[in-house]
């Protein structure tokens, strides 16, 4: 009697490790990338570990991780001390310090993963974690940078070391625009916020930051061809010349909330009662804040415009316009109490003010919403483009001014308030707010931006179609990881 051959041992899955920097703007898109890798990568056979930091973890951070599928495991690096940083240290300084000080913990985690049957086929830190490439190189693991912003801003970051070498003045004082390959010309004042003061401790970190990005074996960007065609083309040309590693535009990644979570929010019922394309959605991101004076001027401008609005109101800060990034803004009272006296009552027929949070993706996709006053954070921008909603650009910090220039001067997706009438403290006056809100919602320029937004909505939907450019780019890069795994 013959004996049956024993079944061949199962081939271990191709395993990748992703690293998300502190902040919802990083954890959310990195989690979405992990989700797509394990669900659609190379015909299956992928698992992932998503690594985050104990420092600055938030409730949204926890809920995002809890929503991941079983094939994505999570690991949290131990907290690192930051007591020696000054109380007014910039957001970027805090993040970079966490990333650098946590490298020994990341190295220990990597070594344990490399000893597992699946090993590690690729390491993918997000935009703010390029120092971690040192660990990957030390242990022989290919590293791919995941840019949670656009390629235009990534190009600026890559050029910071060169700009530092070739200029001596503050960038805001440059007499001519900065012209980078494939990018819209940028005034010095619109370059990255963290490099605007050479005396700030974050400045040398930004120079080092730009150099570390060149350690990557490839750039994976949460963007898509239709919104950055010229810049993506330039990256490909520079990659062919060996200047940059290959770039893969795999976006847009857009988060979503459960239908029940959005439906129970009172603002959705209010939107149901409004005419189509009539409401301006006002939200400055999870980390953005306005000064007390600017909050008052914004309220007055909205009221004077007479346009319908839905405003997610957060606590003002007179010190830092990124004060909410780590949840360090004021707490314990009602943010609506900082609005002008009687404002909520006077505008109740056309406006709704919501404290702190609202289901943004569902709001942007509601038929009543016709515009979005936004800080131009890249996640919010992609959410607006995917929903076909034009923007009123109100950049606050980080790379948001770069984004605003790109959106107004190249894509045509946004209008931007004039700064001509701003006071010395940079506050945009109510009259300018009234004018630009009215133009976006009912003017000819707003209509043109809305038409452009609808075209981008179609392009965003096609990007991940079976033959879409983003899907093809995604399959190309994950295919590399799978081939490398099978070659071992």
Read off the tokens for 397: 């910090």
CA distance 69 to 253: 17
Strand order in the sheet with 218-221: 144-147, 218-221, 247-249
Label residue 389 exposed, middle or buried (CB < 10 Å: 0-12, 13-18, 19+): buried
Helices (H), 306-393: 343-346, 360-364, 378-387
HEC string of 386-397? HHCCCEEECCCC
Helix/strand/coil for 479: helix
DSSP state of 175: S
CA distance 482 to 121: 8
E-only strand ranges, 290-448: 308-313, 351-355, 369-374, 391-393, 414-415
Catalytic residue among 26, 105, 213, 366: 26
∠132-403-184 over CA atoms, to 5°?
105
Do the strands 14-19 and 122-125 form a parallel or antiparallel pair, or are they unpaired?
parallel
Phi-psi region for residue 307, left (φ > 0), alpha (ψ -120 to 50) or beta?
Answer: beta
Helix/strand/coil for 377: coil
- Please state, in angstroms and as integers, the Cα–Cα distance from residue 341 to each residue in 11, 295, 299, 346, following that order: 67, 12, 10, 9
Cα torsion angle, 61, 63, 67, 72, sign: positive
Active site residue 420: no
Catalytic residue among 61, 126, 190, 375: 126
At which residue do the structure tokens 């940078």 appear? 145
Contact 196, 146 (CB under 8 A): no
Q: In terms of Cα–Cα distance, which of 87, 140, 129 is closest to 105?
A: 129
Radius of gyration of the chain from its Cα atoms, rounded to whole angstroms: 23
Residues known to be catalytic: 26, 126
């Amino acid at each position: 009697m013959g004996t049956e051959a024993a079944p061949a041992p199962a081939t271990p899955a191709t395993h990748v490790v992703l690293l998300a920097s502190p902040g919802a703007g990083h954890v959310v898109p990195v989690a979405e990338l992990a989700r797509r890798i394990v669900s659609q990568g190379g015909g299956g056979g992928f698992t992932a570990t998503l690594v985050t930091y104990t420092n600055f973890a938030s409730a949204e951070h926890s809920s995002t991780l809890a929503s991941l599928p079983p094939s994505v495991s999570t690991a949290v690096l131990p907290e690192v001390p930051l007591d020696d940083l000054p109380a007014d240290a910039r957001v970027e300084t805090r993040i970079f310090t966490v990333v650098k000080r946590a490298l020994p913990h990341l190295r220990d985690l990597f070594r344990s993963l490399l000893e597992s049957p699946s090993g590690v086929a690729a390491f993918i830190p997000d935009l703010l974690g390029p120092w971690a490439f040192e660990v990957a190189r030390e242990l022989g693991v290919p590293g791919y940078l995941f840019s949670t912003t656009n390629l235009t801003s990534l190009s600026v970051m890559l050029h910071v070391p060169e700009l530092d070498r070739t200029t001596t003045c503050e960038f805001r004082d440059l007499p001519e625009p900065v012209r980078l390959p494939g990018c819209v010309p940028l005034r010095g004042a619109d370059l990255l916020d963290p490099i605007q003061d050479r005396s700030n401790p974050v400045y040398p970190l930004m120079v080092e930051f730009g150099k570390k990005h060149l350690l990557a074996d490839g750039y994976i960007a949460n963007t898509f061809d239709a919104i950055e065609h010229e810049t993506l083309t330039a990256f490909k040309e520079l990659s062919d010349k060996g200047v940059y590693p290959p770039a893969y535009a795999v976006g847009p990644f857009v988060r979503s909330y459960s239908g029940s979570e959005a439906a129970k929010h009172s603002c959705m019922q209010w939107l149901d009662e409004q005419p189509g394309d009539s409401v301006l959605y006002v939200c400055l991101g999870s980390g953005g804040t306005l000064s007390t004076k600017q909050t008052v001027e914004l309220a007055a401008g909205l009221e004077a415009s007479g346009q319908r609005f839905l405003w997610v109101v957060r606590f003002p800060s007179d010190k830092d316009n990124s004060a909410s990034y780590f949840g360090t803004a004021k707490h314990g009272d009602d943010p609506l109490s900082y609005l002008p006296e009687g404002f909520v009552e006077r505008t109740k027929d056309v406006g709704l003010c919501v404290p702190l949070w609202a289901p943004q993706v569902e709001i942007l996709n509601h038929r009543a919403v016709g515009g979005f006053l936004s800080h131009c954070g890249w996640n919010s921008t992609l959410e607006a483009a995917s929903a076909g909603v034009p923007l009123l650009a109100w950049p606050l910090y980080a790379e948001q001014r770069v984004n605003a220039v790109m959106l107004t001067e190249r894509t045509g997706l946004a209008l931007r308030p004039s700064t001509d009438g701003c006071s010395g403290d940079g506050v945009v006056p109510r009259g300018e707010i009234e004018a630009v809100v009215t133009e976006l919602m009912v003017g000819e320029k707003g209509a043109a931006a809305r038409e452009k937004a609808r075209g981008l909505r179609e392009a965003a939907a096609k990007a991940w179609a079976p033959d879409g450019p983003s899907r093809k780019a995604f399959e190309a890069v994950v295919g590399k990881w799978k081939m490398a795994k099978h070659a071992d």
